[in-house]
Structure 1
Amino acid sequence: MSRQTSMEPPVNTVGQDTVSVQAVRRQRLEGPVSGWNRMRRRLGTLGLVCVGVLAVVVLTTIFAPLIAPYDPYAGSVVDRHLPPSPEHWFGTDQSGRDIFSRIIWGARTSLIGPTVVVLVAAAAAVTLALTAVWFGGRVDAFIGRILDILFAFPNMLLAILAVAIFGPSLLTASIALAIGFTPYSARVIRSVALRERNLPYVASAQLQGISGFLITVRHILPNVRTQIFTGMTINFGYAMIDLAALSFLGLGVQPPTPDWGLMVSNGQASLLQGYWEQSVFAGLAIVITVAALGYVGEQLGGRRAAGRTR
């Protein structure tokens, strides 16, 4: 009596193994979806370089007393218009002050002003936009008319009017520019928040008896934070340029306070005499910082503007 054994054909798992192996390999290469790898993929190599530049600028601002080799206010008639050298990396200005030290200290005023602008503008824009979206109707129309009126005044015109009334100062110019930046940010935030307001989860939260304030703060606001942070990043660069222009015109930071825009203005007369160091190095500091901010803001906003988080 013969015993028959049924042999099942072997299953070919080469393709499946290849797919699984490739998936594991891809996961190992890409790493976790969050954290450093996510930011690296979003920003790219150039974006990481820009982040590094911004980190250097911020650290320079914080540790200016430790980094600057000379007193930014101390000058010498003997050391006027010295060329770049190991003692003075960027040379000296018309008053004999070290340009490198003044650029380091000037980073403080050049960053403090834009910070005030973006924070005040963001707070006002978020408040107006979310209030208009939640209440709608006449409230939305009233806030829209206010924004339309603010749109009629250019940022620089508001800043010049404020300086003419209250006197030239960094705080006055910053608050005036913040008012001018508010309608642009409010319109963008309102358009995104309005989409969130009409989604079913908002109606569901209302049926549960949750107040409108809590729904706005806990649900709508987190879903528009990408547009808020992106707008703040991009507006920071524009605010830096506007404040530098005001300082150049003598309406912002006043001498002898070190400021990049003021240094460009002070070096203008020396530039015509062949002493280019002060204006060129201060201008490069503005251009590099603004370009880095703009690129990081565009990368963060462009990649995430289409998605929502909850």
Structure 2
Amino acid sequence: MPQSLVKPSSRISVVAGRAHRRLGTLGMVCVTIIAVIVLTTLLAPLIAPYGPYEGSVADRHLAPGVNHLLGTDQSGRDVLSRVIWGARSSLLGPLIVIVVTAVLATAIALTAAWYGGRVDSFLGRVLDVLFAFPNILLAILAIAIFGPSLLTASLALAIGYVPYSARVIRSVALRERNLPYIAAARMQGIYGFVITVRHILPNVWPQILTGMTINFGYAMIELAALSFLGLGVQPPNADWGLMVSSGQSSLLQGYPEQSVAAGLAIVVTVAAFGYIGERLGGRRAAGRVR
């Protein structure tokens, strides 16, 4: 049957079937969880029962009930609303990290794989230097210079992630570059840039996407840790890592709702992205295995 005559519903069923075979039942559950979290984040103004900063001292530490499903925090703000709004910064930060990482790592890897020789050696030495600096250390140094913010922490972490991703992409691109069809394209006089973009990049893209998926979870954990330490998102903004930190004192007083809700949101999201990444290619796709 011609492709144009296939019903959209049939196409969706085929795509869903392929995804199920690749990810498995648990993988599809993780995809559903991520979709729900993203949709909730986008619809936060419509879904959240209260504003993220709306609170009253008279309503502080209310137990979960009809009006406040997860209770209130030490400032009388609705915990559920804070969790919903906090998803925005908690997802935006890792998204910045993986996009910047993918762009820089892909550019470096493809350049090294195509030119080889001294260019490959020089870029390899640069990546080796970056390997010497832990991601958190780079973020702390950047925050010490430019001040605490989500953007500063995200960009610093992205630089720290580049060598992990670049070395994996380079190995795949180098194998692709040495295939006969690339040599045939060069004999036809096609420019190296065109060959790289048109032929090599599409063939390494699955590896890039897999690395982005699994690195998202790593980035979320590290950004939450920075916010927990007061080096990322600043109060009174809603952020999951910041909520865990802010809820410490309440936790010791017997009001664990804020820390537990935010911590559980982090765990579920990271686990979902991590499992999908493992199914797609595992830690090696992110360059995490040394």
Name the SS of the counterpart of 1:265 in structure 2.
helix
1:43 paired to 2:23: yes
Looking at structure 2, the residues matched to 102 and 77 of structure 1 have their Cα atoms a distance apart, in angstroms, of 16
Output aligned runs, 1:12-91, within 5 Å: 34-91=14-71
Q: Which runs of 5+ in 1 are unaligned?
A: 1-30, 306-310
**TM-aligned CA distance change 1:288 to 1:201, over 3 Å:** same
In structure 2, the partner of 1:291 is: 271
Name the SS of the counterpart of 2:111 in structure 1.
helix
Looking at structure 2, the residues matched to 79 and 288 of structure 1 have their Cα atoms a distance apart, in angstroms, of 29
In structure 1, the partner of 2:138 is: 158
| TM-superposition CA deviations, 1:82-101 (whole Å, max 9, x none) | 11111101100000000000
Looking at structure 1, the residues matched to 161 and 49 of structure 2 have their Cα atoms a distance apart, in angstroms, of 37
| TM-superposition CA deviations, 1:165-214 (whole Å, max 9, x none) | 00000000000000000000000000111110111111011011111011
**TM-aligned CA distance change 1:285 to 1:229, over 3 Å:** same
| TM-superposition CA deviations, 1:208-234 (whole Å, max 9, x none) | 111101111111111111110000000
Looking at structure 1, the residues matched to 208 and 13 of structure 2 have their Cα atoms a distance apart, in angstroms, of 23
Instruction: Return the letter of the residue paired with 1:251.
Output: L
1:106 paired to 2:86: yes
Name the SS of the counterpart of 1:224 in structure 2.
helix
How far residue 301 of structure 1 moved from its aligned partner, in angstroms, is 2.2
Looking at structure 2, the residues matched to 301 and 32 of structure 1 have their Cα atoms a distance apart, in angstroms, of 24
In structure 1, the partner of 2:246 is: 266
In structure 2, the partner of 1:233 is: 213
| TM-superposition CA deviations, 1:21-47 (whole Å, max 9, x none) | xxxxxxxxxx99952211111111111
**TM-aligned CA distance change 1:109 to 1:33, over 3 Å:** closer
Which consecutive segments of 4 or more residues in structure 1 shift more than 6 A? none
Looking at structure 2, the residues matched to 173 and 33 of structure 1 have their Cα atoms a distance apart, in angstroms, of 41
In structure 2, the partner of 1:149 is: 129
Corresponding residue pairs, total? 273
| TM-superposition CA deviations, 1:249-292 (whole Å, max 9, x none) | 00000000000000000001111111100000100000000000
Q: Which runs of 5+ in 2 are unaligned?
A: 1-10, 286-290
Name the SS of the counterpart of 2:247 in structure 1.
helix
CA-atom RMSD in angstroms: 1.4
Identity of matched residues, %: 74
| TM-superposition CA deviations, 1:28-87 (whole Å, max 9, x none) | xxx999522111111111111100000011001100000000111011111110111111
Looking at structure 2, the residues matched to 225 and 266 of structure 1 have their Cα atoms a distance apart, in angstroms, of 40
Looking at structure 1, the residues matched to 97 and 12 of structure 2 have their Cα atoms a distance apart, in angstroms, of 36
How far residue 299 of structure 1 moved from its aligned partner, in angstroms, is 1.2
Instruction: Return the letter of the residue paired with 1:98.
Output: D
1:206 paired to 2:206: no
In structure 1, the partner of 2:3 is: none
Looking at structure 2, the residues matched to 219 and 36 of structure 1 have their Cα atoms a distance apart, in angstroms, of 27
In structure 2, the partner of 1:192 is: 172
Looking at structure 1, the residues matched to 16 and 55 of structure 2 have their Cα atoms a distance apart, in angstroms, of 45
**TM-aligned CA distance change 1:32 to 1:247, over 3 Å:** closer
Task: Check conservation: 1:226, 1:301, Cα contact below 8 A.
Answer: no
In structure 2, the partner of 1:14 is: none
How far residue 297 of structure 1 moved from its aligned partner, in angstroms, is 1.3
Q: TM-score with structure 1 length normalisation? A: 0.86
Q: TM-score with structure 2 length normalisation? A: 0.92
**TM-aligned CA distance change 1:34 to 1:221, over 3 Å:** farther
Looking at structure 2, the residues matched to 99 and 34 of structure 1 have their Cα atoms a distance apart, in angstroms, of 40
Looking at structure 2, the residues matched to 109 and 283 of structure 1 have their Cα atoms a distance apart, in angstroms, of 15
Looking at structure 1, the residues matched to 191 and 278 of structure 2 have their Cα atoms a distance apart, in angstroms, of 35
Looking at structure 2, the residues matched to 231 and 128 of structure 1 have their Cα atoms a distance apart, in angstroms, of 15
Looking at structure 1, the residues matched to 14 and 163 of structure 2 have their Cα atoms a distance apart, in angstroms, of 33
Looking at structure 2, the residues matched to 235 and 159 of structure 1 have their Cα atoms a distance apart, in angstroms, of 16
Looking at structure 2, the residues matched to 113 and 158 of structure 1 have their Cα atoms a distance apart, in angstroms, of 16
